[in-house]
Every structure is written in C-alpha cells, then in structure tokens.
Amino acid sequence: MTRATIPYRLTALVVATLAAALGPAWAEEPPPPPSPSDAQKIEELEQRLKVLERKEELAKEESAAKEKEAAKVSIGKDGFSVRSADGAYQLKVKGYLHVDSRFFDGTPDDATDFTDNLLLRRARIVLEGTLGKYFDYRLMPDFGEGRTVLQDAYVDVKLAPEFRIRAGKYKPPVGLERLQSANDLYFVERALPTNLVPNRDVGIMLHGEVAEGVFGYAVGVFDGAADGANIDTDTNDYKDFAARLSVQPFKKGRLFGLQGLFFAISGTYGSSLGGTVSATGLSAYRTAGQVPFFAYRAGTTVAATTILDGDRTRFSPQAYWNYGRFGVQAEYVESSADVRRGADTARLSNTAWQATAAVMLTDDASSWKGVSPKQPFDLKARQWGAVELVVRRDRLSVDPDAFPVFANPATAAQAASEWGAGVNWYFNRNFRWMLDACRTTFRGGAPDGDRPRELVYLNRFQISW
Amino acid sequence: MPMLRSLLRPAAALAAAAALAVPALAAGRTMLNVSYDPTRELYQDVNSVFARQWKEKTGEDLEIRQSHGGSGKQARSVIDGLEADVVTLALAFDVDAIARAGQIAKDWQKRLPDNSAPYTSTMVFLVRKGNPKKLRDWNDLARPGVTVITPNPKTSGAARWNYLAAWGWALRQPGGSEASAKELLRGIFKNVPILDTGARASTVTFVERGIGDVLLAWENEALLVVKDLKPGEYEIVVPSVSILAEPTVAVVDKVVAKRRTRELAETYLRFLYTPEGQEIAARHYYRPRQAEVAAKYASVFPKVTLISIDEVFGGWDKANAAHFADGGTFDQIFGVGR
C-alpha cells in the first residue's frame, strides 16, 4: 500500500462509519445522534487521517528541502554543468571543434599555390568552475592540428567584481581580436594586427569591472611572450608588464544606439637580454592563410640570428560597436623592440591596423560576443537560423630599418595588406558555418620585388557548447 | 636584480589598482540573523526599529535578513557555511556548537549581560478551548488516549526544553528518580504521532491542521496563538513546574571579521537589552530581563515555578550528552516507544 492511498482508504472508512452511524440519507426519520462511543471513534479516525495527511505534507516539505539542497546537474546550449545548491561549487564541461579547409588560389606551379588543407584547427575541451565560492578555475587543452597544447590553465580569485586576481596561463590583456573568443570571431582567422600581440603567457593579473561593467581594468606581470607567441615558461629573468583600460561609456545610459560602444587601450612593457638561436624573443608574421610572410634572420649562431636585446613595448587602442544588426570593430597595434644581430642593433617598430564591419541579413542582433539566432535552425518549423555578411581591411607594416640587416628582403615582406569578405551562417548558438575569401598583397618579400598576392578561401564548420 | 627592477613598475601599478578597487568593496550594508523557529515576528519588529536607528546614527541603509528553523538545524547550517553575522538561537548549547566549530569565541556568553540571553521564556501547554482532556500537569500527557504535539528534540530547541521540563518535573515528584522520569517521557512520546523539525511547524500541526490534544509550546508562541491568532479557541495550561528557557544571542566572529560587520552586529545585539528592545520582546510575549519593563508586563506572564538547566542537569553539555546525543535517553525512549 502506498502512502498516497492511505488517506483515501481512511476517508472511505470514515465515510462508511458515518453512513453506518447516521443511517441512509433517504430515510424519512431523522437519524439518531451518534452514541458517545461512536463519536469518539469518528474523532479518533479523523485524528488518524489528519496525522497521515500531515505526515505526507511534512514528507513533501522535507523532499522539497532536500531537493533545494541537492546538487543541480544541467545540460544545455552552454554545455554540461554540476553545481552545489548554494552555487559555491561548480563544474562546467564545455568544448569546441573548428573543422577548417583552406584552399589557395593558384596553379600547381604557382609560388602562391600553398598546400590546400582540410584540418582540425581547434579541438578544445574546457573545464571550468568554482571552488568555494571565491575561486574560479579554467583548464583548456587544445588537440587541434595534431598537437596537444595547454591553452588556458588558471585560477581566478574573485573577491568582488571590481577586484579579481588571476594567476596561471591565459591571454594577456592586450589587443582586441586576440581577446575575443575564437568561437565569436567575425572571420575564420584573426586579422593581421593579432600578429603583434602575445597569444598566451604565464602571469599574475589584477583585473575587474567597475560601475557594473562601464569601466574595466587589467594589470599584470607576465613571463613575456613574443608577438603572437604561446609560451609556458620563461628563458630569462626579465618580465613583462601588461595593462588594459576599457570603457563602455553608454552601457547604462539611454543614448540612442550607443549602449554597445566599447573603447579600450592596452599595452605591454618589458625587457630581455641574452637571446639564443632557439629563443630569440621574436616571431614570424602570418597571413589569413596562416602562411608566414615575414621572419627575422635566423642562423646557426647567435651572431647570425636576430634576437630581442633590450626593451619591448606594445601599444594598442581599440574599439567596437554593435547596434542592432550592425557591428564594427577596429584596432591598431604598434610593437617596438630593441633587436640585435651580431654587432648591429636597432629599435624597430612594426605596426598594424584593421577595420571590420558586419551586418546580419536576418532579424538578429550583431554581437562581439557571439550571435544567438532568434529562430534557430529547424527544418520542420522552416526556420533557418541567422546569416551575417562580414568585410574587413587590414594591414601590417614592418619597420623599414629591419631590412636588410635584421630581415632578408628577398624572403620577408615589408608590408601585407588584406581585403577579406565572408558569410557566417549561425544555425543556432552552438553551430555555425563560415566561408571567407581573403586576398593579401605584399610589398617586398621576393627576390625580384613584391611577393605574389595570396588569395585563400577559408571554410569552417564550428561547433561549440 | 634585473628581475627585481623589471618587477618594480608592475608591482607599483598593481598596488595602485588595488588601492582604487578596495574601497568599492565597502559599499552596501546587509546583515543576516540566523534564529530559531518562532522568532519571526519578534525580529521583524526588532529589525525594523534597529535599521531606522542605524540609518539615523550612521546615514547607512541597512538590510537585515532573517533565517528561521529548528535551533539545532540552524546551528548546523551556520557550521556548514551559512554566513550569519549574528545568531539568536533557542539555547546556549546550539551556540556552543558553533563555538566548538571555531566560528564564535569560546567566551561568547560573557560578552553580553545575563549570559547573553536578553529575554527568557518557558514551556507551557496549549490546549483546545475547554481543555477537553483535562490536562493539568506533565503526568497527564502520558495518559493513554492523549495526543501530544512537540517537535523533534534532535532538531528543535523548544523540544529539548519540553523534554527537560518534563524530566525535571518527574524528578521533583515524591519518589522521583531517573527511572521514573524516563518512564514518564516514554509514556509522553508514545502519545506523539508526529515529530516536526521546529516549534513553528508543531504549531502549524496543532493549530492549523487540528491534530492533537495538547501542544507543548514556547510560552510566547502559546500567548501569540491565544491572544492574537485564534482568540477564544485555545487555552494555556501552566504546569506546576516548568523550565527557565534562556534563548541566547551571539556575534559570529569569523563572519563579522570577514564581512567587516562586527560593530554593526554588536550594536544590534546590544539593542536587545535597551528599554526599546526589551519592550519589543515583551510585546511578542518574551519575558524581558529589565526590571522596569518586566514589571510593566507582569500581568501578561503567568506565575510558574521554574527549574534551571544548571540546577537540575548540570548545564547544557551534560544534559545533551545524557539525553539528546546518539544513544541518549531520547533515542532509548523513542525507539522503544515507537
């Protein structure tokens, strides 16, 4: 007999007892009053019934309280998560997969016909969460391109929204597109300025948001990664200092269309001495097709190799704005470094800029932080998701003083200029298809003048959760 | 050395940013009072008056949150991490449990007057109008056919006071002994059909659900029912002997240190001893400590012979070990009684 059936049986018993005591309802004579012993029995039965009902009520309350205290497991568009009832402990399992293809325009004997590729650009599992309310963590290995690289591994101590301390390996607070999630990029590959800012570095950073996100700041000390580099350790005693200040001036205001306007300025300062052939502190720069178009001279000895030897600074103003179906972003980066090759020294300043515009063809909001289609793809409902067109212009210029001592003008280009256009089809928040065409022209970089232009078609199937 | 030089500038910037960020943490004033079951109405009034006074004194807006439940259960929640700035619990033993967990200083009872118990109460019988079962004293509760409502002594402070009051009564009877007291409690708990987790839940069982012949209740809870909630439907029976119940209050040191609310929390608890705080307590049928206020409300509270925990049981630690710890007399009685 289940608990729920007990009250019903007892109710039936009470009713039967009452019926027996009071007589048939259709009797002409009024029923005699119940005897004292009958009344007592009825009262006892009523009490038992009430006790059972109350016990059931308490059991339900207890069950509800336990449910409230129990850990919550959820799975949805933001991945899989487990959290304690008070939210002090959380584990989120996320991930993303970028399946790309790169097709270069050119004939097989053409110098610009680089190898066409189908590749796993990124295959990342993200474990993140909270331990003891104040301590967030994130671990993100990447298995893309046949390698295993630990991209992120850090702890974030969040004393208050205005005051957080992050320690470990992560993106230093420099650049604009570099700090955008790879899942939210307008193009398959980031624009040329990202070549001049570090990718991942190990360090300690104080950061936070003030006035509910109107202002943001980050300032930290890092090992000091070269332009575009992803490092796990340092090779010298010198450290880099990185900082970024941001403002969304109209975030809380009502000025027409300006809530999504964002400005930031960021930079780094550091030094390095004693570079080696294998640790020069300098990097090559790549096109959208991920083909190197500039590299410093490298030799078998330190004297024949260009190395970082002194100060390195970076400076980067940046902005983006999203309004309705439209979005734009722009950034400028200047990376200056003292370099040495043998007895020759120089301070070289390389610069880059980019401007990107996006428009949603569907009635969806453009966003720097990813698009969520209002009508996710559903064949039965004849919904197609969201479609976006993007276009960009970007350029990277190498300091002319780099040539010919520190870089070989016959193989390293002095400048790269790119036009890009593309379409993004967001099936839902988790899956999108991207197709880009990027055309890059160069100044210098070939024995006989300019390196031939590069035209690459980039395609991506992206899933993230 | 180069590393030191290289770090100097970033370190200075970090310090500056920290200096800018830290004042922002001080904004906003909230406080949590974790209390036992029947004090909801009392602390709603206390909080309202105190917040107004605090605003006048400091200019700060103050939000005082309340949490209520069985006293033992509430103490457990604080030990497990519920961030209470103050606790106002049914008995000193529950505050001691938090102190043993290292969250309150061991000498907490000496910090405020009257052993940190700003008001007192006792346990009485709440019966239905006319007292149909003619219940007069503790031994009547063990009669066959009487249904008794009391919460679970494992989770409720009120239930422990009830239990010990009955035990103390039995000891004072001619020929009273531990054995006769145990027999009385066994008889009483044979008549208990439901063990609620807290005193307020037992009041609901008795008053709202209409279960039982008698509710063993806090005096303040019984007076609330008789005078305010259900006038004319219930009566209070004062047993020949009851127990001096001393609900105690304390600042939770670890929490106030972390939240920087010590001054606020201490002022809040001291307010309970002021004439205004004592008046509020008396209005909610708690026996005030202050003589003037007690005299003013003397007619509200029936006269009753009271025994104390220290006098009869040698303090809460001993009482708990003997009766409510695992394997104690309650476990023996309730197990057999069922």
Of A60 and A15, the one with more pLDDT: A60
Does the CB of B27 have a partner CB in chain A at under 8 Å? no
Assess whether B179 and B211 both reside in one domain. yes
Query: Has residue B105 got a pLDDT over 90?
Result: yes
Query: Has residue A463 got a pLDDT over 50?
Result: yes
Query: Has residue B9 got a pLDDT over 80?
Result: no
What is the per-residue pLDDT for B18? 43
Query: Has residue A12 got a pLDDT over 60?
Result: no
The answer for residues whose C-beta is within 8 angstroms of residue A269's C-beta and 6 or more apart is A240, A241, A311, A312, A313, B9
Query: Has residue A19 got a pLDDT over 70?
Result: no
What is the per-residue pLDDT for A88? 86
In the predicted model, what is the mean pLDDT of chain A? 90
**Residue A386 to residue A363: CA distance in whole angstroms:** 8
Distance from CA of B236 to the nearest CA of A (A): 21
Assess whether B115 and B127 both reside in one domain. no
Of A317 and A234, the one with more pLDDT: A317
Assess whether B80 and B63 both reside in one domain. yes
Q: Which residue has the tokens 């202002």?
A: A215
Note whether residue B187 is domain-resident.
Answer: yes
What is the per-residue pLDDT for A69? 76
Tell me if B135 sits within 8 A of B141, measured CB to CB: yes
What is the per-residue pLDDT for B12? 45
What is the per-residue pLDDT for A65? 77
Residue A221 is nearest to which of B7, B24, B196, comparing CB atoms?
Answer: B7
**Sorting pLDDT into bands at 50, 70 and 90, what band is A440?**
very high
Query: Has residue B236 got a pLDDT over 50?
Result: yes
The fold for domain A95-122+175-464 equals Porin (2.40.160)
Determine the residue type at B109.
Q
Query: Has residue B69 got a pLDDT over 50?
Result: yes
> How high is the ipTM of this complex?
0.70
Q: Which of B6, B80, B203, B205 to mutate to test the interface with A (most CBs of A within 10 A)?
A: B6
Distance from CA of B194 to the nearest CA of A (A): 7
Note whether residue B250 is domain-resident.
Answer: yes
Assess whether B218 and B290 both reside in one domain. no
Note whether residue B62 is domain-resident.
Answer: yes
Two tokens, residue A304: 């024949």
Record: contact B211-A241, CB cut-off 8 A = no
Distance from CA of B28 to the nearest CA of A (A): 13
Assess whether B143 and B288 both reside in one domain. no
Task: Calculate mean pLDDT across residues B133-138.
Answer: 95
- Per-residue pLDDT tens over the stretch A111-125: 666 889 999 999 999
What is the per-residue pLDDT for A234? 87
Query: Has residue B2 got a pLDDT over 50?
Result: no
Tell me if A193 sits within 8 A of A331, measured CB to CB: yes
**Sorting pLDDT into bands at 50, 70 and 90, what band is A272?**
confident
Query: Has residue A67 got a pLDDT over 90?
Result: no
- Return the percentage of chain A with pLDDT > 70, whole number: 91
Two tokens, residue B119: 């008001």
- Domain regions of chain A by residue span: 5-68, 95-122+175-464
Query: Has residue A55 got a pLDDT over 60?
Result: yes
What is the per-residue pLDDT for B199? 87
Does the CB of B179 have a partner CB in chain A at under 8 Å? no
What angle is formed at CA B260 by the lines to CA B255 and CA B264, rounded to 5 degrees? 95
What is the per-residue pLDDT for A112? 61
- Tell me which chain A residues have a C-beta less than 8 angstroms from the C-beta of B2: 237-238, 271, 273
Assess whether B197 and B316 both reside in one domain. yes
Determine the residue type at B248.
T
Does the CB of A208 have a partner CB in chain B at under 8 Å? yes
Q: Which helix (H) or strand (E) holds A6?
A: helix A5-22
Q: What total of structural domains would you count in chain B?
A: 2
Assess whether B161 and B237 both reside in one domain. yes
Query: Has residue B115 got a pLDDT over 80?
Result: yes
Record: contact A206-B22, CB cut-off 8 A = no
- Return the minimum-mean-pLDDT range out of A101-115, B68-82, B103-117, B274-288: A101-115
Two tokens, residue B205: 């069982």
In chain B, the residue whose alpha carbon lies closest to the alpha carbon of A208 is B21
**Residue A102 to residue A145: CA distance in whole angstroms:** 13
Q: Which domain holds residue B170?
A: 123-243+308-337
Task: Calculate mean pLDDT across residues A309-328.
Answer: 96
What is the per-residue pLDDT for A108? 62
Note whether residue B259 is domain-resident.
Answer: yes
**Sorting pLDDT into bands at 50, 70 and 90, what band is B152?**
very high
**Residue B48 to residue B64: CA distance in whole angstroms:** 8
Distance from CA of A194 to the nearest CA of B (A): 24
- Could you tell me the CATH number of the domain that includes residue B324? 3.40.190.10
3-class SS of residue A138: strand
Tell me if A293 sits within 8 A of A283, measured CB to CB: no
Does the CB of A238 have a partner CB in chain B at under 8 Å? yes
In the predicted model, what is the mean pLDDT of chain B? 88
- Tell me which chain B residues have a C-beta less than 8 angstroms from the C-beta of A220: 10, 14
Assess whether B199 and B294 both reside in one domain. no
In chain A, the residue whose alpha carbon lies closest to the alpha carbon of B13 is A219
What is the per-residue pLDDT for A29? 63
What is the per-residue pLDDT for B25? 42
Two tokens, residue A283: 């990097």
Residue B209 is nearest to which of A54, A86, A217, comparing CB atoms?
Answer: A54
Note whether residue B130 is domain-resident.
Answer: yes
Two tokens, residue A426: 């967001």
The answer for residues whose C-beta is within 8 angstroms of residue A230's C-beta and 6 or more apart is A149, A151, A199, A200
Note whether residue B2 is domain-resident.
Answer: no
What is the per-residue pLDDT for B183? 95
Assess whether B165 and B151 both reside in one domain. yes
Assess whether B36 and B64 both reside in one domain. yes
What is the per-residue pLDDT for A33? 66
What is the per-residue pLDDT for B216? 95
Assess whether B81 and B166 both reside in one domain. no
Task: Calculate mean pLDDT across residues A362-373.
Answer: 94
Query: Has residue B42 got a pLDDT over 80?
Result: yes
Query: Has residue A190 got a pLDDT over 50?
Result: yes
Does the CB of B9 have a partner CB in chain A at under 8 Å? yes
What is the per-residue pLDDT for B26? 41
Note whether residue B17 is domain-resident.
Answer: no
Query: Has residue A276 got a pLDDT over 50?
Result: yes
- Return the minimum-mean-pLDDT range out of A271-275, A388-392, B82-86: A271-275
**Residue B153 to residue B195: CA distance in whole angstroms:** 9
Residue A160 is nearest to which of B7, B11, B25, comparing CB atoms?
Answer: B25
- Return the minimum-mean-pLDDT range out of A34-38, A230-234, B218-222: A34-38
Of B99 and A46, the one with more pLDDT: B99
Q: Strand pairing of B148-149 and B214-218?
A: parallel
Under 8 Å CB pairs connecting chains A and B tally to 71
Phi, psi at residue B264, to the nearest 5°?
Answer: -60, -50
**Residue B79 to residue B73: CA distance in whole angstroms:** 10
**Sorting pLDDT into bands at 50, 70 and 90, what band is A133?**
confident
